[in-house]
Amino acid sequence: MRLRGAYVLGVLGLPLAAHAETIFYSNNFESGLGTGWGTAAQVTQHTNFSKFVGRYSGNQGVLLTVAKPSVPTPPAGSWVEYRLTFDFYAIDSWDGDDPTYGPDYFCVSVNSNTVFAQTFANQHQYQSFMPPTVGGIDLGYGAAFDSIYRDITVTFNPGTASNISVSWYGIGLQGIADESWGIDNVRLSYAVVPSPAAGSALALAGLAMLRRRRH
Ligand SMILES: [Ca+2]
Ligand SMILES: [Ca+2]
Ligand SMILES: [Ca+2]
């Protein structure tokens, strides 16, 4: 519940407009991977997707590790909220919640805590996540439909670790010719926001908006 509320807040820009956001990692991969990526990471180029990290299938995943920035001590009544934003490319015949061929999950964890776990479909509407920014249409690779989801935003608590390790991974996908994915435009940021007591009211408001959007 908190996850979806947080996501909608990011989409609607409510706290982003009110509180300055400091970006401490940003990469569109047009100049390559850069540092911090695990050995499975690779950059692929495609006309309709630009350069991105991918493609992956099956239960494969990719890891990014970034040093946790030193952040200012928040004033009383505030706390530091960390955010991960990225674009997700769902490529070819993802089955979403289909009982026979699914479920096909795409997930994200930060420092081993799952912060995103949603099903995606390209052949029908049966998925847990909201509709794509682009698609489903055939954008490339196999003839099956593909989808682009821009600016997926999740909030997370990095805990006391000195690094922030982000893992993106699929669960239950078939081979790369059938179902694959990539990520692009990855950003990590933080913002000083009202303390959880004040923030939870905003999150509930965001959740209510999401429910209206989905119906
Ligand atoms: Ca790119
Ligand atoms: Ca499948
Ligand atoms: Ca395709």
Q: What pLDDT, in 10s, does the model give residues 120-129? A: 999 888 999 9
CA 53 – ligand 1 centroid, Å: 8
Bridge partners of 48, per DSSP, are none
Q: How far is the CA of 72 from the centre of ligand 1 (A)?
A: 31
Give CA–CA dist 215/204, Å, rounded. Answer: 17
Decide if 19 contacts 191 (C-beta within 8 A).
Answer: yes
Q: What is the pLDDT of residues 68-127, one digit of tens each?
A: 999 988 899 999 999 999 999 999 999 999 988 889 999 999 999 999 999 999 988 899
More confident residue, 15 or 185: 185
Ligand 3 centroid distance, CA of 179 (Å): 9
How far apart are the C-alpha atoms of 190 and 19, rounded to whole Å?
Answer: 10
Q: Which of 39, 14, 9, 36 is nearest to 188 (CA)?
A: 36
Chain segment 150-166, per-residue pLDDT in tens: 999 999 999 999 999 99
Q: For the segment 179-194, what is each residue's pLDDT rounded down to a tens digit?
A: 999 999 999 999 999 8
Provide the residue ranges of all domains of the chain, joining segments of one domain with +: 2-214
Its pTM stands at 0.83
Ligand of minimum distance to the alpha carbon of 91:
3
Ligand nearest to the CA of 49: 1
Q: Measured between alpha carbons, how far is residue 36 from residues 32, 41, 66, 192 in Å?
A: 12, 10, 6, 25
Q: Which CATH architecture has domain 2-214?
A: Sandwich (2.60)
The mean pLDDT of the chain is 88
Looking at residue 125, the DSSP 8-state letter turns out to be S
